[in-house]
Copies of this chain bind each other. A is one copy, B any other.
């Protein structure tokens, strides 16, 4: 068994949900060396998240943005953490609802995703820099 680890930085994204499977995997050719294992990706931020969902119709990502804004609205009267702008506290809550890491099986040197699955970067801030990810693969070569 071996471990591979690399820190990468995604290009800055607009607020919303973005399909980033290709952008991430462009940095991680080393996955080809793993016959069986787990691909783990972690985001080093508290106002953006990672999730897996449909990789085809882009309106799915639009509907995610609409519905998360409905479930976690800005300017709720009970928010106390407001100094960094109205998008900040909702961003923290959305990030925890969606989660900070993904774990995906690796089989024969590739992510073993379903045919409709892709990795989303969930960007919850209005004006964010590029987000830092740590990719770790553990498995047999």
**Which residues in A have some Cβ–Cβ distance to B below 8 Å?**
1-3, 5, 7, 36-38, 40, 42-46, 51-54, 57, 59-60, 62-64, 66-67, 70-72, 76, 78-81, 89, 92-93, 95-105, 107, 112-114, 116-117, 120, 132, 134, 136, 138-140
Q: What residue of chain B has the Cβ atom nearest to residue A132's Cβ? A: B114
**Which chain B residues lie closer than 8 Å to A76 at the CB level?**
66-67, 70
Q: Which of B40, B44, B46 is close to A103, meaning CB atoms less than 8 Å apart?
A: B40
**Which chain B residues lie closer than 8 Å to A40 at the CB level?**
38, 103, 105
Are A63 and B138 in contact, CB atoms less than 8 angstroms apart? no
**A–B Cβ pairs within 8 angstroms, 30 of them:** A2-B140, A3-B36, A3-B139, A37-B136, A40-B103, A40-B105, A42-B104, A44-B112, A44-B114, A45-B116, A45-B117, A46-B117, A51-B99, A51-B100, A52-B96, A52-B100, A59-B81, A63-B79, A63-B80, A63-B89, A63-B93, A66-B76, A67-B79, A70-B78, A96-B98, A97-B97, A101-B102, A103-B103, A105-B134, A112-B134
